[in-house]
Amino acid sequence: MAEPEFTARGVRIARWPRSLTRAGEVRIEDGRLALLTSYGSEIDSAPVGAVRAGRPWFAKSDEAVATVNGTRYRLTLHQDGDGDGTGDSAGSGRFLAALKRAAGRR
């Protein structure tokens, strides 16, 4: 099994208006984006070419929005794990950069 191109643990994954998990995992591996619960169950997955992601102007710096299979998810990628939302944008920025690299959009 190959090393994932991107993985983030402790991610809050929400589908408007409710939270699905507060300690989930986002993984980009073998050309697919997978959203997982804290127990490892798959919430949703899709080929990276079919995923739309970005950081809205109104979101906190550690948040990103991803549309997977037509469903919008709000991802909060805490850099330091404290969950107060005051971290820098490194977590969400790394996620967006890895998604673009995996999809071949440079």
pLDDT tens sequence across 38-67: 999 999 999 999 999 999 998 888 999 999
User: What is the Cα–Cα distance from 97 to 59, expressed in whole angstroms?
Assistant: 18
Q: Report the SS3 class of residue 50.
A: helix
Q: Give the angle 44-94-6 at the CA atoms, nearest 5°.
A: 50
Instruction: Please indicate, yes or no, whether the overall pTM of this predicted structure exceeds 0.75.
Output: yes
Contact 32, 9 (CB under 8 A): no
pLDDT tens sequence across 80-91: 544 444 445 578
Q: Report the SS3 class of residue 48.
A: helix
Tokens representing residue 18 in the block: 């409710």
User: What is the Cα–Cα distance from 33 to 36, expressed in whole angstroms?
Assistant: 10
